[in-house]
Amino acid sequence: QGLYMRDTRFVDATGLDAANRASARDLLRMVRAATAGTHPRFVSMVRELIEERIRGKRRELLATIGGAA
């Protein structure tokens, strides 16, 4: 059974490489598949990471159109 993570590219398995790319939707799919019944703190940390990435993308977009973050 696949996760259908179509907007994701992992260069390494650690998740630490700057070249790793994943959409928030794909990360959520991965978390839901991998953490069913696991510790709530782990799920919370992943949610925080997703939110951080979304905020970063918003800042990048605003910077390209001349807005403020």
pLDDT tens, residue by residue, 14-67: 777 888 888 888 888 887 777 665 677 777 887 888 888 888 777 777 777 776
- DSSP 3-state assignment of 15? coil
**What type of residue sits at position 52?**
E
- pLDDT number for residue 67: 61
- pLDDT number for residue 37: 54
- pLDDT number for residue 45: 80
Rounded to two decimals, what is the model's pTM?
0.44
Residues in CB range of 1: below 8 A, 6 or more apart: none
Cα–Cα distances (Å) from 8 to 1, 4, 36, 49, in that order, read 17, 9, 21, 15
Token pair, residue 3, equals: 């996760």
pLDDT above 70 (res 69) = no
- pLDDT number for residue 3: 77
